[in-house]
Homo-oligomer: A and B are copies of this chain.
Amino acid sequence: MQNLVDKINNKILSLHIPAHPAGLYEPVTYTLALGGKRMRPLLTLLGYSLFKDENEKSLDAAVAIEVFHNFTLLHDDIMDNAPIRRGKQTVWSKWGTSVATLSGDVMQIMAYELLSGYEPSLLKRILPVFNHTAINVCEGQQLDMDYETAENVSIPDYIKMIELKTAVLLGTAIQLGAMIAEANDEDTRNLYEFGKNTGIAFQLQDDILDVFGEAEKFGKQMGGDIVSNKKTFLLLKTFELADEATRAKLKGLLNEKDEQKKVKEVKEIYHRLEVKKLAEAEMQQFYSKALSSLEKVNAPAEKKKKLTDFTNKLMKRDN
């Protein structure tokens, strides 16, 4: 797996990123060098490899997905006022919002540049798939912002939001790999479902780690979701299960200005109502759904195993 990550990182390093204007391109280089798990491009390569014995041809699409993902992070971090990402300053907090906006814009175009190299008939098939998902991701981000102030967000609303904002891109990452490998429509569709449901499980895991993970491993502001009153599965489930008194206490905590106190006391309520376990069960459910889609895919068992070795590890990560 490290070989594949190296391959992705080498491809990213080989991207032609001009030196000027530095204000535009420095943040692009900075962002792409921050690394991260490279989960999405790995899914593209692994999706391709299910049907072929190498993965060369899927590398451009893999990196297109990663560059697109990083573009969304630049813009999301502005909107969410996030100071830290992958243990480093976010672009807007380092260079300002104008820079983060424009460098994000150019990264979005770079993603399309990477796709534009595929042969005509393949390009014609992958471009609409990519566009559709890119639009879904924007819709997900909008819902995420809407839910900050919305009164009645349900757990299904929340799941739909993370599906759009996060999960569909994982689905499309693996789907593009399969399409480039000329997989048939049914296999391609099942792989999309596999990736999407893995993505929902992944985001639920992320929400759990935001509260219960270890700061130095996670590389983001700890308890950030609690501080910002983010209506995650954990918070929504707590409101659902809490008695009158706890609900009143929780409502009070939403307005608590002392961040440390707020995180500590909300966590105490989460512990008491055991919502972590419930979130983990929800996560398992989506991951099982993912695996049952993968089972239907016509590809050699040992190749599928390589894929599930990777996603199983994602489900057990601590960062």
Contacts and interface: CB of A to CB of B under 8 A. Distances in A.
Nearest to A108: B108
Nearest to A164: B21
A134 interface: yes
Interface string A59-76: 000000000000000010
Interface residues of A, number: 36
Contacts of A120: 120-121, 123-124
Interface in A96-126: 97-98, 101-102, 104-106, 108-110, 112-113, 116, 119-121, 123-124
A127 interface: yes
Given A79-B98, A102-B75, A102-B79, A23 B113 contact: no
A98 B145 contact: yes
Interface string A1-45: 000000000000000000001011000000000000000000000
Interface string A118-160: 0111011001100100110011011101100000000000000
Contacts of A121: 120
A81 to B, nearest CB: 10
A127 B98 CA distance: 27
A16 to B, nearest CB: 11
A275 interface: no
A78 interface: yes
B108 A131 contact: no
A298 B21 CA distance: 37
Interface string A305-316: 000000000000
A105 B111 CA distance: 13
B124 A23 contact: no
Contacts of A119: 124
A138 B78 contact: no
A98 B113 contact: no
Interface of A: 21, 23-24, 75, 78-79, 97-98, 101-102, 104-106, 108-110, 112-113, 116, 119-121, 123-124, 127-128, 131, 134-135, 138-139, 141-143, 145-146
24 contacts: A21-B146, A23-B142, A23-B145, A24-B138, A75-B102, A75-B105, A78-B98, A79-B102, A97-B97, A98-B145, A105-B105, A105-B108, A105-B138, A106-B138, A109-B134, A109-B135, A109-B138, A110-B135, A112-B127, A120-B120, A120-B123, A120-B124, A123-B127, A127-B127
